Amino acid sequence: MVGGGRGAFIGAVHRMAAVLDGQIELVCGAFSSDPEKSKLSGEDFFLPSNRVYDSYEEMIKTEKQLPLGERMDFVSIVTPNHVHYAPAKMALENGFHVVCDKPLCFNMEEAYELERIVAETGLIFALTHNYTGYPMVKQARVMVKNGDIGTIRKVIVEYPQGWLATKVEDAADQKQAAWRTDPTRSGIAGAMGDIGTHAENLAEYITGLKISEMCADISTFVEGRLLDDDGNVLLRFENGAKGILHASQISVGEENNLNIRIYGTKAGLQWFQQEPNTLYVKWIDRPMEILRTGVGNLYNESKAHTRIPGGHPEGYLEAFASIYRNFAFCVRARLEGTSVDPIFMDFPSVSDGVRGMNFIYKVIESGKSAQKWLNV
Amino acid sequence: MVGGGRGAFIGAVHRMAAVLDGQIELVCGAFSSDPEKSKLSGEDFFLPSNRVYDSYEEMIKTEKQLPLGERMDFVSIVTPNHVHYAPAKMALENGFHVVCDKPLCFNMEEAYELERIVAETGLIFALTHNYTGYPMVKQARVMVKNGDIGTIRKVIVEYPQGWLATKVEDAADQKQAAWRTDPTRSGIAGAMGDIGTHAENLAEYITGLKISEMCADISTFVEGRLLDDDGNVLLRFENGAKGILHASQISVGEENNLNIRIYGTKAGLQWFQQEPNTLYVKWIDRPMEILRTGVGNLYNESKAHTRIPGGHPEGYLEAFASIYRNFAFCVRARLEGTSVDPIFMDFPSVSDGVRGMNFIYKVIESGKSAQKWLNV
Amino acid sequence: MVGGGRGAFIGAVHRMAAVLDGQIELVCGAFSSDPEKSKLSGEDFFLPSNRVYDSYEEMIKTEKQLPLGERMDFVSIVTPNHVHYAPAKMALENGFHVVCDKPLCFNMEEAYELERIVAETGLIFALTHNYTGYPMVKQARVMVKNGDIGTIRKVIVEYPQGWLATKVEDAADQKQAAWRTDPTRSGIAGAMGDIGTHAENLAEYITGLKISEMCADISTFVEGRLLDDDGNVLLRFENGAKGILHASQISVGEENNLNIRIYGTKAGLQWFQQEPNTLYVKWIDRPMEILRTGVGNLYNESKAHTRIPGGHPEGYLEAFASIYRNFAFCVRARLEGTSVDPIFMDFPSVSDGVRGMNFIYKVIESGKSAQKWLNV
Amino acid sequence: MVGGGRGAFIGAVHRMAAVLDGQIELVCGAFSSDPEKSKLSGEDFFLPSNRVYDSYEEMIKTEKQLPLGERMDFVSIVTPNHVHYAPAKMALENGFHVVCDKPLCFNMEEAYELERIVAETGLIFALTHNYTGYPMVKQARVMVKNGDIGTIRKVIVEYPQGWLATKVEDAADQKQAAWRTDPTRSGIAGAMGDIGTHAENLAEYITGLKISEMCADISTFVEGRLLDDDGNVLLRFENGAKGILHASQISVGEENNLNIRIYGTKAGLQWFQQEPNTLYVKWIDRPMEILRTGVGNLYNESKAHTRIPGGHPEGYLEAFASIYRNFAFCVRARLEGTSVDPIFMDFPSVSDGVRGMNFIYKVIESGKSAQKWLNV
């Protein structure tokens, strides 16, 4: 693992998600750019001191020299955006598969370069757009693919949060807010990169449609903040569907309210990340149905990502873990020369990452443009 | 009453709303352009046959000659859009106060002309943007006015319906769909005029802010339909707040799901018309609160529009009735030369109607424009 | 109308409910035991002073002498429980149909006597167990009757309120609380008579089953209160189904949360009075469905009690009005010698009232008994 | 681990819960009474074959001979009820701490005996009444303890499920249903033992009150079933509070709907296991508040059992994991001779298990009794 030492948020999430299904073990790490902090974090995780490294460079170099079966099987990168590219590149070039937090990297050049390296090395690369790991997101995706809801006409995807409604990044203990609002660490976008890209990924994942045009109104509401904290975007999809995407970190009182509505010619679908085990299906010709994780005759893709019976709520960590588990199945199959059930070959790829970076660049460009529609 | 005979929808609503509070009695009507139908409708309402007229012209002329106290006190116009202007004008010019269904009329010229006539005659004119009649809408408005939620930054107002997702207007028994999708009766807009204008009115009513710019994507999804059935609009408000308005009649499975979210610097508000007795208040610094009609220490404006104790749900007809009751209080005061508690001088006016017509024209214009922002 | 003058709660409800559908007009009343208050109330309602009476005795006597077509068609009794019997008896004995608020009367003797008089006179008697007037309650009842949910096994009916959690009846302005907690006006029961009987009525109405045995734990939590303010009851139904009924006026924070769940062999039903337009149907073999007032293919009994399209919420007053409207249809048919569509011959009768009084007596008896089961 | 091999439900839950927080590693197991199945299960979990045992007896004996630090630190027992006692006893008597699934064991004799052995050995024993592990259950418990809701008057705890509404236990692939409905494996109770005891535990955990009397109506609705599948129980608590507990496995359409309402003199609390991150607080004198996991100023006991920020839903496995983590902290402190923050000394004990067994026996006895109240 690269990053994720004491005080980090997403590193702990990655660790819990990785081990949940008993397929992955944390064996080593460079948990901080501060070697002392890395060392202490390694102790927290009960790692032998010789597997806790001062830097990711050292980790990759040293682990590579360990015998197969003893060395790490892949690298997880859980650092801020500006420290995704270099460790990912080095890991891939040294033969390690990679799991990388989103967004893919810091800018488009890095994105294209990573895509190229992954293609060249043929290694496995997973990007943790974790929200697509939920069982009811899988269900929605297959319903769309199977034509259950007809032709899609309208998509509304929202991602409001409220935690950056004031200038919290100025406080000493707000490490999470600080790097996300800092263009030298986060990139050209704030909210649109941090969460807007999750919304874009979710919409395209479920609908199977690509956004073809957008028209954005991007704002920074908190005085003195250097990156956007709110954005409203009109969308047009390749098939003629229309849509709206909005993401915000100044929507006071909202927690992490990613949600999506998709209206087809036969039915509408609605899903809320905060109540993730419920999928609302609004039929054109019969009563609304409530589909629930683990209950009744769902599609196999949904069942394959469900661990416990209906009514035992699965949450964020389980969805995140499904990405790790699927990735682990693929890595193991590669190591063992076996094949994987295609149902598990389902996690965001480096290309999804490039697509996400492109979304970020386009939405910021559109926000600055006087032109109505921008082709994506 | 003009219109609202057998088979009409909104006429019955007006009648129930008008009588609910015991302030208004239906005394006469021209219920249909078909005199026979008008006559039969009059019988349904237990009216004496001499007060059931063949046309609104006859009604206004005849009633005017009745002695004061015997003749009708005001005229309710519940016809399709293209038959608002003429009866309203004639009623006003003959000294009758008017209640008129929304949108105000058929085009901008009529709108300005009506505004002029109302000003000239000094008569009372109410437009039934009924959704602002709900107690929790009143509560929200006063909370905003009092600064409870701070400075408004973001407004999201939605009005999805699904009933026009197919070409139902072709069916013989779909009178409601037929005129709404017919440009000769509805005007230049379909969904945006029928329901988009309710959304605009609600947003401006609660926030007290005017929309200053808009950027619209207006669509007709159902083949062969002549007017829009869906629209997504980016909004900017005069104070710098940003927003989204979308209205749709092809959102399959949606009933009449008008709803609004308003985010200020101190709190967010959320209200759903389909669950109208609940107002969600999402505070920045304390737990979300659920305000409920008739429960606890609400603002007087909310209490004054509540009839029954908390937990006894008030609905659409009660909200509609509040407009009629307030209008009746004002008409009675005028007749009796008394004054009205300002709390009841609260119903949409002809100016709100002009504003709504302007919204319709601008949103359609923006939809056709390649320019991003259109001043309102 | 008997009762319902200034300051009353349920009288206003009766008036609004009665006029809503344009079938009934308020023509006279004895609105208070205080003649002055009755007179002032009559002015509030725009009644001519000669139709506002000092007492119900005077009203019934005087009205009876008016010519048919001019005199009142029926009497509405909206007084506290101890003033139901006498006016109802006198009205019936003088040939007037009666609408009476629940519970039917003050004690069992009165109940049986009223039942006898109704039978003897053949007049129409409606008891306003208004909660059975909701469209989705009708839908539930027909679903049960048609076997849609199979054989009923379990029924849970709840009626928690919180408004009597402290001794509010001591305050001067708490007229509603005062008589409800006073055994000389309310009868032998407090919460069980005021709301428990609504719960019993709702359960028996929807299920079509009679309660055959009960086992009650009845409490008075507020010190110094003379009647029960909480009750928990185990139920057994004639068909072998088991159940729970609880009603409470000390359940802090609850408004008027009557709700019911019914589990059959094929499906479960759930309905909440505070969200009355939704009926949850939990199928054994397919996803839960959400039935909504006015939406889709509901049973005719539900449609016949719905006024406005889906998504336009109907509330408490509309449900209450349906009882008045059905009663009015029956009275009119009697007056005109015509017949009524059986779908409208649906309102609580004097026998339901006797049954409710019997429930009150039995539940109080069971609460005092050391014996487990009491036959009903 | 004892039990939990292929095809088991709760074993997999225990494994995921145990590893989630990186405090516990699965090192050995006797996963089935069938040695071949145990062996295959061990391979599934990537265990070395010499740590996969044919029986729990072999496991305990062999592990005990391994050096400290290499041998297992504790035993998890995840077998059906009739195989709790023997392995627990043997583990304790050989010096191993124990985690045991609920209910504690098969009968009262075993329960008392286990309690005695735990006391005698001084070892750490955790019972997985997992529902008390949720952050909002902790919050509720501390709110009660601190007097935030005043004196408790009424408690309603429900646990409806529908999965045993038909005789599914007859099907070959319904292992979970089969043992739960078999008196030789489950004990004297079906639903009341399987889930009723969770309800009892939750109610006593949050309220801090003991049930003092009960009056039960226990039923078997499915023909041919040997144990109860439904129960309705009136409760009385030691402080005078009244209550209702019902648990059911024939409530068609219900998933795993454990929920509780607690009404004090100052506020009511409501929590649903299926939406576990929300706690409703219904104040007597101010608007209802929605408390949410990880959001705002919750009690430390709640925060200490929360892993991720608000709006990232935690679920069943996380709550379950909190029991394991707290147990692990206590075991580690014992091993290392350190002390544990009292906030983590919070998991169900053997005494809670005895109390649960007593509940099962009393509720079944009350169900058979003609006497109304049974002392607990």
| CB-nearest partner of A315 from D15, D45, D314 | D314
* Residues contacting residue D43 through CB under 8 Å, at least 6 positions apart: D49, D52
Identify the residue with better confidence: A69 or B280.
Answer: B280
Q: Where in chain A is the domain with CATH 3.30.360.10?
A: 134-308+353-368
Model confidence at C6, in pLDDT bands (50, 70, 90)? Answer: confident
pLDDT for position A245: 98
Taking the domain B10-123, which CATH number applies? Answer: 3.40.50.720
Evaluate if residue D7 carries a pLDDT over 90: no
Structure tokens at C46: 């725009």
Measuring CA to CA, which residue among C313, C314, C353, C345 is closest to residue C329?
C345
Q: What mean pLDDT is predicted for residues A24-52? A: 95
What is the distance of C-alpha D191 from the center of its chain? 14
Q: What mean pLDDT is predicted for residues C28-56? A: 95
* High-pLDDT (> 90) share of chain C, %: 97
Contact D316 A317 (CB under 8 A): no
Rg (CA), chain A: 21
Question: Complex ipTM, two decimals?
Answer: 0.96
pLDDT for position D9: 85
Contact D230 C153 (CB under 8 A): yes
Contact C153 D236 (CB under 8 A): no
Contact B282 A252 (CB under 8 A): yes
Q: Cα distance from C310 to chain A (closest Cα, Å)?
A: 12
Evaluate if residue C173 carries a pLDDT over 90: no
| Pick among B14, B46, B251, B255 to test the C interface (most C CBs inside 10 A) | B255
Region of poorest pLDDT, from A263-272, B154-163, C8-17, D50-59: C8-17
Cα distances (Å, whole numbers) of residue C286 to A178, A312, D162:
48, 19, 13
Q: What's the pLDDT tens digit per position in D170-182?
A: 998 888 999 999 9
Evaluate if residue D149 carries a pLDDT over 90: yes
Residues of C engaging A, defined by a Cβ cutoff of 8 Å: 281, 285-292, 295-297
Contact C310 B256 (CB under 8 A): yes
Contact B248 A263 (CB under 8 A): yes
pLDDT tens, per residue, chain B with 376 residues: 999 998 888 999 999 999 999 999 999 999 999 999 999 999 999 999 999 999 999 999 999 999 988 999 999 999 999 999 999 999 999 999 999 999 999 999 999 999 999 999 999 999 999 999 999 999 999 999 999 999 999 999 999 999 999 999 999 888 899 999 999 999 999 999 999 999 999 999 999 999 999 999 999 999 999 999 999 999 999 999 999 999 999 999 999 999 999 999 999 999 999 999 999 999 999 999 999 999 999 999 999 999 999 999 999 999 999 999 999 999 999 999 999 999 999 999 999 999 999 999 999 999 999 999 999 9
Taking the domain C133-308+353-368, which CATH number applies? Answer: 3.30.360.10
Q: Cα distance from A245 to chain C (closest Cα, Å)?
A: 25
Model confidence at A8, in pLDDT bands (50, 70, 90)? Answer: confident
Q: Where in chain B is the domain with CATH 3.30.360.10?
A: 134-306+353-368
Q: What mean pLDDT is predicted for residues A94-109? A: 97
Contact D316 A314 (CB under 8 A): yes
pLDDT for position B238: 97
pLDDT for position C8: 83
Q: Where in chain D is the domain with CATH 3.40.50.720?
A: 10-123
Separation CA A100–CA A128 (nearest Å): 6
Residues on chain B touching D281 (C-beta within 8 angstroms): 287
Going by CATH, does the domain composed of B134-306+353-368 fall within 3.40.50.720? Answer: no
Q: What's the pLDDT tens digit per position in C144-154?
A: 999 999 999 99
Query: CB B175: neighbour CB atoms within 10 A?
Result: 14
Measuring CA to CA, which residue among B197, A249, A127, D158 is closest to residue C156?
D158
Contact A288 C286 (CB under 8 A): no
Q: Cα distance from D315 to chain A (closest Cα, Å)?
A: 5
Residues of B engaging A, defined by a Cβ cutoff of 8 Å: 149, 153-154, 156, 160, 162, 165-166, 215, 217, 219, 221, 230, 232, 234, 236, 242-244, 246, 248, 250-254, 261, 263-268, 281-284, 288, 369-373
Residues of B engaging D, defined by a Cβ cutoff of 8 Å: 281, 285-292, 295-297
Q: Cα distance from A78 to chain B (closest Cα, Å)?
A: 29
What's the CA dihedral at A296, A297, A298, A300 to 10 degrees?
130
Q: How does the average pLDDT of chain A come out, rounded?
A: 97
Residues on chain D touching A256 (C-beta within 8 angstroms): 309-312
Going by CATH, does the domain composed of D134-307+353-368 fall within 3.30.360.10? Answer: yes
Q: What's the pLDDT tens digit per position in A207-256?
A: 999 999 999 999 999 999 999 999 999 999 999 999 999 999 999 999 99
Separation CA B346–CA B326 (nearest Å): 7
Structure tokens at A220: 């920074």
The values of phi and psi at residue C55, to 5°, are -155, 160
Measuring CA to CA, which residue among C254, C161, B292, C253 is closest to residue D267?
C253
Taking CA atoms, what residue in A is nearest to C296? A286
Separation CA A207–CA C210 (nearest Å): 51
Taking CA atoms, what residue in D is nearest to A313? D315
Q: Which chains touch B (3 or more CB pairs under 8 A)?
A: A, C, D
pLDDT for position C7: 79
Q: What mean pLDDT is predicted for residues D156-167? A: 98
| CB-nearest partner of C232 from D160, D234, D371 | D234
Q: Which chains touch C (3 or more CB pairs under 8 A)?
A: A, B, D
Cα distances (Å, whole numbers) of residue D95 to B288, C18, D72, D99, D123:
49, 77, 11, 13, 7
Contact A292 C292 (CB under 8 A): no
* High-pLDDT (> 90) share of chain A, %: 97
DSSP H/E element including D5: none
Q: What's the pLDDT tens digit per position in A296-340?
A: 999 999 999 999 999 999 999 999 999 999 999 999 999 999 999
Q: What mean pLDDT is predicted for residues D234-257? A: 98
Beta sheet of C125-127, edge-to-edge order: C74-77, C97-100, C125-127
Model confidence at A40, in pLDDT bands (50, 70, 90)? Answer: very high
What's the CA dihedral at A84, A86, A91, A97 to 10 degrees?
30
Cα distances (Å, whole numbers) of residue C214 to C107, C241, C243, C376:
20, 12, 9, 7
Residues of A engaging B, defined by a Cβ cutoff of 8 Å: 149, 153-154, 156, 160, 162, 165-166, 215, 217, 219, 221, 230, 232, 234, 236, 242-244, 246, 248, 250-254, 261, 263-268, 281-284, 288, 369-373
In terms of pTM, does the model score above 0.95?
A: yes
| Pick among D279, D286, D290 to test the B interface (most B CBs inside 10 A) | D290
Taking CA atoms, what residue in C is nearest to D153? C221
Determine contact, residues B13/B320, Cβ cutoff 8 Å: yes
| CB-nearest partner of B291 from D281, D287, D297 | D287
Evaluate if residue D103 carries a pLDDT over 90: yes
Separation CA C111–CA C92 (nearest Å): 14
pLDDT for position D274: 98
| CB-nearest partner of B255 from C45, C295, C315 | C295
Contact B295 D286 (CB under 8 A): no
Measuring CA to CA, which residue among A67, A8, A365 is closest to residue A217?
A365
Residues on chain D touching C199 (C-beta within 8 angstroms): none
Q: What mean pLDDT is predicted for residues C146-172? A: 97
Q: What's the pLDDT tens digit per position in D49-77?
A: 999 999 999 999 999 999 988 999 999 99
Residues of D engaging A, defined by a Cβ cutoff of 8 Å: 9, 12-13, 15-16, 19-22, 26, 45-46, 161, 254-257, 273-277, 292, 294-295, 307-318
Contact C15 B22 (CB under 8 A): yes
* SS3 state at A251: coil
Taking CA atoms, what residue in B is nearest to D293? B287
Angle among Cα D278, B315, B322 to the nearest 5 degrees reads 125
Contact C314 B314 (CB under 8 A): no
Largest Cα separation within chain D, whole Å, is: 64
DSSP H/E element including C295: none
Q: Cα distance from A187 to chain D (closest Cα, Å)?
A: 23
pLDDT for position D100: 97
Evaluate if residue D191 carries a pLDDT over 90: yes
On the CB side of C375, how many CA atoms lie within 13 Å of its CA?
Answer: 0
pLDDT for position B219: 98
Q: Which fold has domain A134-308+353-368?
A: Dihydrodipicolinate Reductase; domain 2 (3.30.360)
Q: How does the average pLDDT of chain C come out, rounded?
A: 97
Evaluate if residue A9 carries a pLDDT over 90: no
The per-residue DSSP string of A15-75 comes to: HHHHHTTSS-----BB--SSHHHHHHHHHHTT--GGGB-SSHHHHHHHHHHSPTTTS-SEE
The values of phi and psi at residue A310, to 5°, are -50, 145
